[in-house]
């Protein structure tokens, strides 16, 4: 295949724009599958464009289009009608559409119907010609959709890349040829062939992902067993001020059995917010230290590490276990003292951020490694910490409930413990959907909670006004200014991912200390510290978040004994009503998987590029089970050792091509 620079029209600026999207080679461009398709073969009536529906519709422009301006934005509005009904359309920052459209004009449009305060609209619909299935790609600045389609079509005619899946694997599972699958995915002739292409490419991604995780983790290592006494766990529980739940007992026993084995433990402890995973971690550390080892717990932020240290001192110090902490913010003298205490074995339990894996931190006898919030650490970071000892046992914790079928693929190199029981007495967070017209009443509620000494989170989907694509959506910076004015004299602070680390953590510390009454934030607070006085979570533009993410945000409140609330600022719909009806994170995650498909759970690369473009196109969650069974067949059969080696090599190349996939932070 030719170089991208050899394609007509791909000059230096466009090449640079493609590279910023992670597209550096012809193969990168071919494997960058469409983000969706515009089916114009069967246009709908405007009357059929119900809320949430994405599709092609046709009719006549009824009346003269209008140009509007507000809040620094401008948009064109027009009504499209036929004999069955009508619908309003809006084009943001496309003022030229006013001259493109005229009264009585027949149009074929493609877009999604959304409900706003003033009714049902289709936002930014594209003008189309009826009769085809057209691929649409995630935008690349300066490179139009037609240019992308033409380039992909040219490169596919020259495609000669080897198949990452072994021929025998492809035949055994009856999969489509890879070149045919790519052609059908980019330029489908019909939906049956497109479905087969998606199936082939999505299964490929899932199998290679499992192979990459397996290859990066390096398999189970031999380990020196820890002589953990049968009664030690019960002795630890007896010292607690509260009795453990059945799920906590079961999980600690599974960990104890792992520690006694002659192969290194690799266990994921997964549970909903508030299920008591931290106590499980300290129980594991207690068992390790009592058996003569050292333990380390790595947290994603300094403030969370500090909170863990406080809990460790409360829980482990009375049992004679010395605990210490290592973070990047410590002075040189503090770091030197910490390194000495770790190397000498004075500190038996060490808690810290990724500063734990920095050069110069040496353990006397590291036997157990625990990482909190697994999704914030890649396999390489975990492996670096493991390298501080000789084949230590490894436990990872996650407060993100995930259906078991997805966990087996995402974390297939780990044994799984699910903590599916909450401690008694924990009050469920009450969740309500709040339409825009009740905003003032919500502000009054926040003031009343603050008067009682309680705090509020307000989460927004966007950081600043420059990110806005809809005048009905508020950015975090806008909301902070508005609330500072509306809720004066309450202290309203702002935190988001674009702030530097020190500024962000200082703001979070002020909120934790009670100095800030209302914290306006982006999803940077999705994983955060325990703030018992926070009783209200407000989520602006709630319809823009996935259910699992909304549940995670809801889990930031309800940490104390008082009644807590989560308010979803959005128009009611069936998806959001799931949050109102249940506080069970696993049920929420199951529904989210059913509605959005598995692709969303694998997140996005830098700049928003999907890690698994084929998986993003399918919502068939049954693929997870098929992919798991297919990979385990290869792993468990010596006759398929050649396939296993080829898959691991291809998986690591595919998912670590950027050099950062397994080192993400």
Q: How far apart are CA 468 and CA 464, in angstroms?
A: 7
Residue 462 inside a domain? The answer is yes
pLDDT at 393: 92
pLDDT of residue 382: 62
CA angle (355, 357, 362) in 5-degree steps: 105
For the cut 90, the answer to whether the pLDDT of residue 526 exceeds it is no
Task: Please check whether residue 624 lies inside any domain of the structure.
Answer: no
Residue 650 lies in a domain: no
Is residue 374 over pLDDT 60?
no
pLDDT of 95 higher than 60: yes
Percent of the chain exceeding pLDDT 90 equals: 57
Concatenate the DSSP letters of all residues of 431-481 into one string.
EEEE-GGGHHHHHHHHHHHHHTT-EEEEE-S-SSGGG-S-TTSPPHHHHHH
Angle subtended by helix axes 246-259 and 277-290, to nearest 10: 30
- The answer to whether residue 185 is domain-embedded is no
Q: How confident is the model at residue 113 (pLDDT cuts 50, 70, 90)?
A: very high
CATH number, domain at 570? 3.40.50.300
Strand partners, 498: none
Residues 439 and 496 in one domain: yes
Give percent above pLDDT 70 in the chain: 92
Would you say residue 659 has pLDDT above 50? no
Quote the strand ranges of 478-573, DSSP E. 492-495, 518-521, 534-540, 565-569
Average pLDDT of the chain is 88
Task: Identify which has the larger pLDDT, 193 or 386.
Answer: 193
Which pLDDT belongs to residue 607? 39
H-helix or E-strand spanning residue 342: helix 332-344
Q: Is residue 525 in some structural domain?
A: yes
End of a domain among 70, 101, 127?
Answer: 127
Query: At 87, which CATH number?
Result: 2.40.50.140
DSSP 3-state of 636: helix
pTM of the model: 0.73
18 and 101 share a domain? no
Contact assessment for residue 285 and residue 370, using Cβ atoms and an 8 Å cutoff: yes
Same-domain check for residues 503 and 529: yes
Containing structural domain, residue 18: 1-35+145-161
Mean pLDDT of the 492-502 span: 87
User: Above 60 in pLDDT, residue 396?
Assistant: yes
Residue 138 lies in a domain: no
Q: Show the DSSP H helices in 108-245 as ranges.
A: 145-157, 167-172, 178-186, 191-217, 232-238
Q: Which of 582, 601, 635 is the last residue of a domain?
A: 582
Q: Are 369 and 503 in a shared domain?
A: no
Residue 648 lies in a domain: no
Considering the domain architecture, whether residues 94 and 150 belong to the same structural domain is answered as no
Q: How many CB atoms lie within 10 A of CB 317?
A: 12
Task: Provide the number of structural domains found in the chain.
Answer: 4
């Amino acid at each position: 295949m030719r170089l991208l620079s050899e394609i007509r029209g791909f000059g230096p600026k466009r090449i640079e724009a493609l590279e910023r999207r992670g597209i550096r080679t012809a193969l990168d461009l071919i494997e960058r599958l469409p983000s969706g398709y515009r089916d114009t073969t069967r246009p709908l009536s405007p009357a059929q464009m119900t809320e949430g529906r994405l599709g092609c519709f046709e009719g006549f422009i009824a009346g003269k289009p209008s140009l509007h301006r507000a809040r620094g934005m401008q948009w064109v509005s027009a009504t499209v009608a036929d004999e069955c009904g009508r619908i309003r359309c809006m084009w943001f920052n496309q003022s030229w559409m006013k001259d493109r459209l005229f009264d009585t004009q027949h149009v074929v449009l493609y877009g999604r119907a959304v409900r706003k305060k003033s009714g049902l609209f289709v936002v930014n619909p594209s003008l189309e010609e009826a009769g085809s299935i057209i691929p649409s790609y995630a935008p690349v600045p300066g490179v139009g959709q037609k240019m992308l389609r033409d380039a992909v079509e040219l490169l596919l005619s020259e495609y000669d890349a080897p198949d990452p899946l072994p021929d025998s694997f492809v035949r055994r599972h009856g999969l489509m040829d890879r070149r045919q699958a790519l052609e059908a995915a980019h330029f489908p002739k019909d939906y049956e062939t497109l479905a087969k292409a998606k199936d082939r490419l999505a299964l490929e991604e899932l199998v290679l992902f499992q192979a990459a995780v397996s290859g990066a983790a390096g398999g189970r290592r031999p380990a020196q067993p820890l002589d953990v006494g049968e009664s030690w766990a019960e002795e630890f529980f007896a010292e607690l001020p509260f009795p453990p739940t059945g799920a906590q007992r079961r999980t600690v026993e599974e960990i104890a059995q792992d520690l006694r084995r002659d192969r290194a433990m690799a266990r994921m402890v997964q549970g909903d917010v508030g299920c008591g995973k931290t106590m499980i971690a300290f129980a594991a550390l207690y068992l390790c230290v009592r058996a003569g080892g050292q333990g380390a717990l790595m947290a994603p932020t300094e403030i969370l590490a500090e909170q863990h240290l406080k809990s460790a001192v409360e829980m482990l110090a009375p049992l004679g276990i010395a605990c210490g902490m290592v973070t990047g913010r410590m002075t040189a003298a503090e770091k030197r003292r910490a390194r000495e205490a770790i190397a000498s074995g004075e500190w038996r339990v060490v808690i810290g951020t990724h500063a734990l894996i920095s050069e110069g931190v040496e353990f006397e006898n590291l036997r157990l490694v625990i990482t909190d919030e697994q999704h914030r650490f890649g396999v390489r970071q975990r492996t670096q910490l493991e390298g501080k000892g000789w084949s230590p046992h490894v436990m990872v914790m996650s407060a993100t409930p995930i259906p078991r079928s997805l966990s087996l693929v995402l974390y297939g190199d780990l044994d799984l413990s699910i903590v599916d029981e909450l401690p008694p007495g924990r009050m469920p967070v009450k969740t309500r959907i709040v339409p825009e017209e009740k905003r003032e009443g919500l502000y009054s509620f926040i003031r009343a909670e603050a008067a009682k000494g309680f705090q509020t989170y307000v989460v927004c989907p966007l950081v600043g006004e420059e990110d806005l694509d809809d005048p009905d959506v508020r950015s975090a910076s806008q909301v902070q200014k508005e609330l500072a004015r509306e809720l004066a004299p309450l202290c309203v602070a702002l935190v988001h991912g674009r702030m530097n680390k020190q500024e962000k953590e200082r703001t979070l510390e002020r909120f934790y200390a009670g100095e800030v009454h209302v914290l306006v934030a982006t999803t940077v607070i999705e994983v955060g510290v325990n703030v018992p006085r926070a009783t209200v979570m407000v989520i602006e533009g709630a319809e823009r978040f996935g259910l699992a993410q909304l549940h995670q945000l809801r889990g930031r409140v309800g940490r104390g004994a008082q009644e807590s609330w989560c308010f979803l600022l959005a128009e009611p719909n069936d998806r959001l009503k799931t949050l109102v009806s249940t506080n069970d994170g696993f049920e929420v995650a199951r529904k989210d998987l059913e509605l959005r498909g598995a692709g969303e759970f694998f997140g996005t690369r830098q700049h928003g590029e999907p890690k698994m473009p084929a998986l993003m196109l399918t919502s068939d969650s049954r693929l997870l089970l098929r992919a798991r069974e297919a990979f385990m067949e290869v792993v468990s059969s010596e006759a398929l050792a050649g396939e296993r080696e080829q898959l691991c090599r291809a998986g690591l190349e595919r998912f670590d091509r950027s050099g950062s996939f397994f080192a993400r932070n």
